[in-house]
Amino acid sequence: MVSSVPRLVIAAPSSGSGKTTVATGLMAALSARGFAVSPHKVGPDYIDPGYHSLATGRVGRNLDAYLCGPELVAPLFAHGARGCDVAVVEGVMGLYDGAAGQGELASTAHVAKLLRAPVVLVVDASSQSRSVAALVHGFVSWDPEVRVGGVILNKVASDRHEALLREALESVGVPVLGALRRAAPVETPSRHLGLVPVAERGASAVGAVDAMAARVADGCDLSALVALARSAGPLHGAGWDAGEALASSPPPPVPSPTLGFARAGGPPSSLGAPPPDPRSALDGPRPQTPDGLDDAGRAVRVAVAGGSAFTFSYAEHAELLSAAGAEVVAFDPLRDEELPKGTAGLVIGGGFPEVYASELSANESLRKAVAELALSGAPVAAECAGLLYLCRELDGLPMCGVLDASARMSERLTLGYRDAVAVSDSALAGAGTRMRGHEFHRTVVEPGAGAAPAWGMRAPERRVEGFVERGVHASYLHTHWASEPGVARRFVERCRTS
């Protein structure tokens, strides 16, 4: 199968150059002109895709070559872009910045090459004129496999400034596709983890996206940008499909008691040889179709936390749960006083419970319902914000009390990719399951790991982290289940049998 969806990647020399404004504004401007726009974000970020979704009316999707592997980038893109007229991919950091110490892996340039997509370089042109040519020339020539098809100049001071910049860039041979005047920044408030998510801003987020769209429409050649997108090379291979991914995924690995990690949050022992590859531990025949039905033949109900406090999730997680036979139902821990009726399992992803600690704590009836479900042995998968919610307290305020741990805000930002292995058998992953993830928080949980930790981190440092208790799997680690679809099948099966 060949995908020929027109596409382009919006990149920049560094963070802060205006990628989000240009990418989101371009998505909204093209949508306003009748294009069905597929929005994508390079890297693990959860917040920008929310603005992309608002701009396009479609789910914003991530393309992360570290979390999911390079081989899944094009299939996941094709899955999200199916039926669209054009796709816009917002890059991450600088064009060539990727996973630390691993070359181009997971960089915007890497993803652009995997997608065979042209790149538009957004350049902060303030305080320079002719030097812009040297800057752009360097990015164009650094990797000949990356096709920089145009430049958008940002923070241009005047007509005279724009003329000087355009004249300088003529020698580079890269067309200028837009020039955005220096102006008051679009209102996109930030806090300790970046932009405030769309779900928390309401009408003001709509106004911000409209302002980005107007700025891009006024300053950029939309026809030329669409023409550039149409020059992207064909992508060969089928788009990702949750059902097919489940059918072809291996069963969980056989639990191993000797993975080389210390328990109880202590320092890891010598790891020795790498843990076994879960794909080599086939324990009996693999079922060809997922079975998420209860004893009465009904789909088991999995409740997924949402609302303003829990906005971090990848769309593929719910799709995999549904493909595994679950009925996925959303609930809002800030507003709902009880779990959805018939809940058999619970997924609590990332977000900002520290911002809403008072409101979450005040919803005592839901906290008790979550605790009762967890204590019954039902599967509960909690990542980062979910981990904090399950703790005994957060910044001194009572939480669900599922875990005998306390959480608090911290001045230190914990951020980065992680290479992890499950060290305890759980409802989410069998011991020995290898997954890559990322951490992104300014909080601390004490203790950092339970008697049965969730993960052993292999890189960048070796340590254990998280909690496995009864059916609960709680950790700071954000993972992308498309990289290991079997975790969704395992979770739904545990929901059915617990």
Average pLDDT over residues 297-305: 89
Q: In sequence order, what DSSP letters do the residues of 31-79 get, joined into one string?
A: HHTT--EEEEEESS-SHHHHHHHHHHSS--EEE-TTTS-HHHHHHHHHH
Burial class (CB in 10 A: 0-12, 13-18, 19+), 332: middle
Contact assessment for residue 381 and residue 428, using Cβ atoms and an 8 Å cutoff: yes
Say what percent of the chain tops pLDDT 90. Answer: 81
Mean pLDDT of the chain, nearest integer? 90
Q: Which range is least confidently modeled, 40-44, 63-67, 349-353?
A: 349-353
pLDDT tens digits, 400-453: 999 999 999 998 888 899 999 999 999 999 999 999 999 989 999 999 999 999
CB atoms within 10 A of CB 406: 17
- Rounded to two decimals, the pTM is 0.90
CA–CA distance, 469 with 202 (Å, rounded to integer): 37
The whole-number pLDDT of residue 256 equals 45
What tokens does 262 get? 């210390």
CA–CA distance, 245 with 169 (Å, rounded to integer): 46
Q: Which range is least confidently modeled, 16-25, 219-228, 256-265, 459-468?
A: 256-265
The whole-number pLDDT of residue 331 equals 98
CA–CA distance, 257 with 261 (Å, rounded to integer): 10
What tokens does 293 get? 């039905």
Query: Is 4 a residue whose pLDDT tops 90?
Result: no
Residues with catalytic annotation?
A: 384
The upper half-sphere exposure of residue 273, i.e. CA atoms within 13 Å in the direction of its Cβ, equals 5
